[in-house]
Structure 1
Amino acid sequence: MTDLSEQQIIRRKKLDKLKLLGINPYPSEEYEVTTTICNIRKNFTEKETISISIAGRLMRLRILGKASFGEIKDHTGCMQIYFTQDYLSSNQIRKEDAYNIFLKKLVDIGDIIGIKGILFKTKMGELTIHVLQFTLLSKSIRPLPQVKMDKNKKIYDAFSNTEQRYRMRYVDLIVNDHVKEIFLKRARIIQKIRNFLDKKGYIEVDTPILQSIPGGAIARPFETYHNTLGIPLYLRIANELYLKRLIIGGFHGVYEFSRNFRNEGMDRIHNPEFTVLELYVAYKDYYWMMNFTEKLVKCICNKFQKKENNHINFKIPFPRIPILDSIKKYTGFDIKEMGKKELRKVCNKLHIEENITMSKAKLIENIFEEKCEKNYINPTFIIDYPVEMSPLTKRHRDKENLSERFELIINGQEIANAYSELNDPIDQLDRLREQMKLSEKKDESISIDQDFIRALEFGMPPTAGIGIGIDRLVMLLTQKKSIQEVLLFPQMRPDKRVKK
């Protein structure tokens, strides 16, 4: 035990003492839970004696001779508990020894216990459980960080180190109540979106995460190998091409909450794995999708938007601004007729990263992201991207060299990306080949999903598609500036202090 802290050694000794007393610190039997702390607070009445049985984590403990106080926390909240030497019993040990376990400090903050008792209010008016029987359900052999407050309930000693919080999210959730609320809200947002789409008659589906060709977007994939098939496989960078196959197969509208993986950089709005809602609806176009998106976003944001976030106006219709007009407004450069060489000069003048390997599409994207995107706080559709930026999108029906694509920007961040989906198999193959020439991979059999082209040759109806970044939407609605705050387990470098 040389690598253990003093507190860990002490707690392991307590574990041994409990076992010597005949107490199993990790019992197998089911523990009956009849209510929750939230329900107790809602339904309490002083007119009747209420017996309850709950379980949770011991968060506070104060031994005061023959009577003691503590605090128990379940998944719905915290409540004060009170127990005395005369009335406390345990189903794990003799009644006369039950209170001694606390006197000998064999029970610690962080232990998970079950308690049975009755409710009452103290002289100070605090709702409390008088514990008549307790059961040790799980001994904690590593101490929790102690969150302390002053008399004004202001936290001054908290588990707040960002790296520690992300590495040990389980501890973060135990001691920082507000963190759990983020993820409960995330779950409700996803459920609200799912209900909205289900009511429209669209079908939720699953598509492969392991793919033989990383298609549907331009990104570096994570690679693996399938031993039985003897082939390389890739974690998906997008699920778009599979959902389009389902539209070809006869589904009218399909959607998926897709976990995608991209082996690229990390920053406050990018994580190697992330969640996107992808939706495809047959016989629609990007004008229809803009109207649909307005209704969906307004529905979600009106329900979950924080009062402090009300500087964002979700009134519809949202403005619709061509991307090249936006660039001209915020940079002063009209780039409509510019080629790659001229765009690189513009980037240099604007102090934007560029190099000879960057495509025209990448240069335009960099200019917009650096100089324009941050200016759109209220929901705004940025529309009509150059064809070079949109290889899976239909050419614009009225505007030469542009495509029927939009991005939804809110609070200076891209939230959604949508197209009138390209369904011409010949044009699609030509554009994928052009895209391949600009990429690192020159082998067409690896870079182009020929089966998707074959599927298109059977005929895909006119289709509108959209991808909505769930992580960024949750960031917006919880007012978090980092994507790591809305991911339960964000990707991090291995902790060198933890032995393998």
Structure 2
Amino acid sequence: MADNNQQNNNAPQEDVGRLRQVRRDKLSELQAAGRDPFKIVKYDQTHHTKEIRDNFDSLEFVPPVDEEGKAVVVPLSDIPSEKLVSLAGRMMSKRVMGKASFANLQDRDGRMQLYVSRNDLGDEAYADFKKMDIGDIIGVKGFAFRTKTGEISVHVKELVLLSKSLMPLPEKFHGLTDTEIRYRQRYVDLIMNEDVKETFKKRSAIIREIRNFLADRDFMEVETPMLVENAGGAAARPFFTHYNALDEERKLRISLELYLKRLIVGGMERVFEIGRVFRNEGTDTRHNPEFTLMELYQAYTDYEGMMELTESMFRYLAEKVCGTTQIPYGDNIIDLGKPFERLTMNDAIKKYAGVDFDTVKTDEEAKAIAKERGVEFEDRHTKGDIINLFFEEFCEEKLIQPTFIMDHPLAISPLTKKKPSDPEKVERFELFINTWEMCNAYSELNDPIDQRERFAAQDANAAAGDEEAEHTDEDFLNALEIGMPPTGGIGYGIDRLCMLLTNSAGIRDVLLFPTLKSLDK
């Protein structure tokens, strides 16, 4: 039984099993004949589909015609070498029409129509082609031409089966639409949905251009440990693991901060890292337990310097990757071209909630206002914590266009320098776009005595049951005592940045392999 049509991914299991068996039988026949495709180790691929389209004028070959005006069958050996193309990929469709057929080959860059005829391949090879299935990986050699309808195609002179597909692909008209299957079987998703592949090409371009931007500013890329004794640098619950060789408990890092600051102490001055971090939290459209974080630190600057760098980098990325600073996201157009708005956290609350916390002097006053406005808090919370709760409740949803929220409360910023003009606040900002926090930056605290006191306060919070509190890191304090220069630092969530620049609705759409619950649970 021939299996030349794609199958719906929702087909009954018995149908899928039957079609798989048909394909296995075809493989057995090939192996019995000494033509096992899985024994082929390489293929000379000279072109991709995009290269053929981009260079068609120089690649096009027009065969001679006979006295009746019909194209002459030209042997492969007689085609000029500069006109020969050899491409490889997955066969996505096939239309057999007697002695001649059309097929579509899909490679890394897109699809290309193939013209396949018995006159070119010979009877045996053409018969083999007719038995091939959608999803098989093939290699073809031939020349580029334009069909009567104007479509750039490849006239196949030689065709080889490189790998046999034993599982039917989803049916072509409906594609792969089941979100759960798309995330679990990303390899099928990439085959069937071209826009998904384009999203991840753009993600790769975003990370490449970040590196280019920072290289132009003389930053050095470094790597720091993932398995750590003290998972510091952020407020998050860590994952735990056991280091067998040392018989010690370790944690997976939740941040990159404390090791990168050690490098600033060591005199590197400008460093950054792009890497995976791990936080033992739930999942939603903006959170995944493992995600990609970039942090950078620059000596002899402050959070104002980090604002300039951030605004410049976001604008650069939009222009390089998207070709415009007017970025569509959902129903909005995000304007990365104009200067980003700047608001203090208290001014944002005053603007959107009508409460001026600059006039609130005590924790008790702040709690009373929270009760009045229906903002839930815990007994241990201070005025600074309640300011942050107000901001999250009343302000974040209003911040669509790029806005720097500055000067956070000291209580929620244990690694940040105090503002000289107001010791209850720190020199910190977060950039919000489309209601999301896109990055978090500080004038970094470099006073080891002050830092020890703040770690002690975090230890007290942990003892009171705060699982996200930081803990004292003695080696980091030792580094600060050696001496760290004034430094600006910042952390960017790369996945949210990719969501923004690719107009993706959820974080799983920009993670090739997002975290999912096991199927057997």
* TM surpasses 0.5: yes
2:276 aligned to 256, 259, 280, which one? 259
CA distance in 1, matches of 2:17, 2:126: 28
> 3-state SS of the aligned residue for 1:191?
helix
C-alpha distance in 1 between matches for 2:299 and 2:379: 40
2:420 matched to 1:403? no
Decide which of 282, 286, 303 is 2:299's aligned counterpart.
282
Q: TM-score, normalised by structure 1?
A: 0.90
Q: After superposition, what is the alpha-carbon deviation per residue over 1:243-291, rounded to whole angstroms, capped at 9, x for unaligned?
A: 0000001111101112111001211111101112111011111122222
Q: Please state if 1:379 is matched with 2:397.
A: no
- Alignment match, 1:389: 412
For residues 159-195 of structure 1, what are the alpha-carbon distances to aligned partners after superposition, in whole Å with 9 as ceiling and x for unaligned? 1121111111111110100111111111111111111
Is 2:200 aligned against 1:183?
yes
The residue that corresponds to 1:102 in the other structure is 129
Matched, 1:479 2:499: no
Is 1:312 the counterpart of 2:319? The answer is no
Which of 28, 33, 45 does residue 40 from structure 2 map onto?
Answer: 28
Deviation string, structure 1 residues 12-60 (Cα, Å, up to 9, x no partner): 2222122122211212332100111111111123465622111000000
Cα distance between partner residues in 2 of 1:381 and 1:159: 40
Distance 1:108 1:201 in 2: 52
The alignment of Structure 1 onto Structure 2 pairs a total of residues equal to: 479
Counterparts of 1:78 and 1:410, CA distance in 2? 36
Unmatched tracts of structure 1, length 5 or more: 89-94, 149-156
How far apart are the structure 2 equivalents of 1:82 and 1:178? 26
Deviates more, 1:309-318 or 1:484-493: 309-318
Find the partner of 2:137 among 101, 112, 121: 112
Q: Normalising to structure 2: TM-score of the pair?
A: 0.87
1:136 CA drift (Å): 1.0
Contact 2:221 2:271 in 1 (8 A): yes
Change (3 A) 1:127 1:416: same
**TM alignment of 1:330-409, pairs within 5 A:** 330-336=352-358, 337=360, 339-340=362-363, 342-356=365-379, 361-409=384-432
Query: d(CA) in 1 for partners of 2:431 and 2:120?
Result: 63
Work out whether 1:164 is the aligned partner of 2:181.
Answer: yes
Structure 1 residues 88-145: Cα deviation after superposition (integer angstroms, max 9, x where no partner): 1xxxxxx542222234x3x110010111112222221222212121111111111111
2:148 corresponds to: 123
What CA RMSD, in Å, does the superposition of the two structures yield over aligned residues?
A: 2.3
Q: Does residue 87 of structure 1 match 2:99?
A: no
- 1:460 paired residue number: 484
2:437 paired with 1:417: no
How far did residue 356 of structure 1 move? 3.9
Cα deviations by residue, 1:365-399 (Å, 9 ceiling, x for unpaired) = 33212210121222111001110010000010112
Distance in 2 between the 1:110 and 1:165 partners?
17
Aligned to 1:324: 346
* Residue of structure 2 equivalent to 1:65: 98
Q: What's the counterpart of residue 220 of structure 1?
A: 237
Change (3 A) 1:345 1:10: farther
User: What is the Cα deviation at residue 358 of structure 1?
Assistant: 5.4
**Match of 2:357, SS?**
coil
User: What is aligned with 1:430?
Assistant: 453
Summarize the Cα distance change of 1:99–1:281 in structure 2 as closer, same or farther, 3 Å threshold. Answer: same
CA contact (8 A) 2:349 2:395 kept: yes
State the distance in 1 between where 2:119 and 2:146 align: 20
CA distance in 1, matches of 2:166, 2:368: 62
The separation in 2 between residues aligned to 1:411 and 1:206, in whole angstroms, is 31
Q: Distance in 1 between matches of 2:33 and 2:98?
A: 22
- The answer to whether the Cα contact below 8 Å between 1:385 and 1:403 also exists between their aligned partners in 2 is yes
Q: For 1:347 and 1:266, locate their aligned partners in 2 and report how far apart those are by CA, in whole Å.
A: 28
Q: How far off is 1:424 after superposition?
A: 0.5
